[in-house]
Chain A
């Protein structure tokens, strides 16, 4: 099998690290130590990572950020390992597991004592929102612990090869992955920030205690904080169509992780479903990675993303079919083709307009859902706001939820942009810090400036829906919040 690793890329250099051998189903496979197990296997032609329980249908790569459970495998005898966020350097062998896994044969999970980590402020999630929350809380002297379950911090930023839109003072005009590096550099220098990657927070308990698990150390962490900012981002939406579970159907963000983080081509010929900014930008990134984008379909009668992003792919010859959707995927054990179909004004399929496309990759870019489960679990008052992408917490203009001392920032509080995520993060960071350090004129002023900037960005036409959504979730900051 030939490898689908990208050797040359117009923007990116891949630091794959040393070569090593990983055993997959007892057969040696050549991998690099900085690749995730999934990326390494994918590069070697593996497309099936598990099977459904009853019908044994193949399951492929879908989210690539540890959320969807399609890639659970037995890794060094530990079942249910999310191989998409596990690097090969930590492993000797992986194998398929029976769909109902047996308990681990070793007991090192419980062998290690949980580590207790006290801190002023805990920030959960290391995307632009979390990075800003940590940066601004630490700036005013608070001690911060920042955790992220991925191997590197940066969130969505690490996968973006394009220069970001926005205002010049918020890193616009710089490529996403470069912004992540710049921010990481600033944070690593701060003595009062402790960064924990490969660490999943699984629950928030009374007294601002967070339960977390260190995936590499395989150790339980008890993080005891005075204030918490939740900046967990979003997860990709799924779409209903025939054979939508075939390997080769994946989230657009998953394709990005494969090609832009690990340098592995997700396919040769792609269909993109969705012409919002994500669908348009990822289409361009697929072309940069050497994948042919056969078409983009969009159910709405018009393109949702910015015209500049659409124009960029159109002039390279990629058709965008508006008022079209995907009807079905075809293929035996993986995608070999797709049928698209036109929709009428009521979004009903128009029989006879089917078109068959030969593709081996179907990317879904049909929106994001706030990844807000931790906030629900903690007991924050949640509301379903379609304009913000789903279930989000009520909060004050200072980003504080209905639980005093639990803040929220970024996509988890409503799907927007990196620039707004940063500002919300900064505002949450300062607000949390103020509770630790007491009143501080400079901090208060800086927070007001950020609020003003946020308002300016949101004044635009593309933020009409966001403004409408926000009006439904904002609560008065003077109203007493409940304590936890």
Chain B
């Protein structure tokens, strides 16, 4: 499989977009997977604590993970569906990823889903723990999974 169109972890790390482990342990925190200089600043305007900043409209966002409260406002606003929340605070080998979702069917709490990584490859099963709908129909869906998967899972397929 080719790598075209995949956001690479190395790039996220280089651009300091991956939160420190200690921060993930403390509760939900944002991962902004937007690593190109594109003219957009919707996330900056959406953030209530000014944790996300862009030098100008074309620069790559940078995140102050201590300011981020994990509220998810940016996740619901991002036009690129490129913002996620990760959470390693629940323990017992589990972690959670919150993902933007604009497809059908709408999942409900406790539904089982097939986890998908950035290449769309199945990565085991997860469980829906929270479904939030924004006023403009974007859903923020929180899925629980083994904590080792939190780094790679970025989508899911509802099992119907």
Which of these, B34, B58, B102, contacts A10 with CB under 8 Å?
B102
| Given A10-B137, A168-B45, A456:B57 Cβ within 8 A | yes
Cβ of B5: which chain A residues have Cβ within 8 Å of it?
275, 303, 307, 310-311, 313-314, 320
Distance A167 CA – B45 CA, assembled complex (angstroms): 9
Query: Does B96 belong to the interface (CB within 8 Å)?
Result: no
Distance A310 CA – B57 CA, assembled complex (angstroms): 21
Query: Does A165 belong to the interface (CB within 8 Å)?
Result: yes
Q: Looking across the interface, which residue of chain A has its beta carbon closest to that of B33?
A: A311
Distance A321 CA – B1 CA, assembled complex (angstroms): 9
| Given A307-B7, A313-B5, A164:B104 Cβ within 8 A | no
Query: Does A377 belong to the interface (CB within 8 Å)?
Result: no
Query: Does B36 belong to the interface (CB within 8 Å)?
Result: yes
A308 near B33: Cβ-Cβ < 8 Å: yes
Cβ of B15: which chain A residues have Cβ within 8 Å of it?
none
Distance A210 CA – B36 CA, assembled complex (angstroms): 44
Query: Does B77 belong to the interface (CB within 8 Å)?
Result: yes
B42 near A288: Cβ-Cβ < 8 Å: no
Looking at the assembled complex, report how far the CB atom of B100 sits from the nearest CB atom of chain A, in whole angstroms. Answer: 9
Query: Does B81 belong to the interface (CB within 8 Å)?
Result: yes
How many residues on the A side are at the interface (Cβ–Cβ under 8 A)? 50
Distance A10 CA – B100 CA, assembled complex (angstroms): 13
Q: Which of B41-86 contact A (CB under 8 A)?
A: 41-42, 45-46, 56-58, 77-82
A311 near B102: Cβ-Cβ < 8 Å: no
Cβ of B119: which chain A residues have Cβ within 8 Å of it?
314-315, 317
Cβ of A9: which chain B residues have Cβ within 8 Å of it?
104
**Size range of the chain B interface in the assembly:** 35 or more
| Given A10-B102, A174-B136, A308-B82, A460:B4 Cβ within 8 A | no
Distance A256 CA – B43 CA, assembled complex (angstroms): 27
Give the interface centre of A164, A312, A456 by most chain B CB atoms within 10 Å: A312
B80 near A309: Cβ-Cβ < 8 Å: yes
Query: Does A437 belong to the interface (CB within 8 Å)?
Result: no
Give the interface centre of A178, A307, A456 by most chain B CB atoms within 10 Å: A307
Could you pull out 26 A-B pairs where Cβ atoms are within 8 angstroms?
A8-B104, A10-B106, A11-B137, A163-B78, A165-B40, A168-B42, A173-B46, A173-B79, A275-B4, A288-B102, A288-B104, A298-B4, A306-B38, A308-B38, A308-B81, A309-B80, A311-B5, A312-B80, A314-B4, A316-B116, A317-B120, A321-B2, A456-B58, A457-B39, A457-B58, A460-B57
Chain A contacts to B: CB under 8 angstroms: 8-11, 161-168, 172-175, 178, 275, 287-288, 290, 298, 302-303, 306-322, 417, 419, 456-457, 459-463
Top 6 closest pairs, chain A to chain B, by CB:
A308-B80, A317-B120, A310-B5, A460-B58, A163-B79, A173-B42
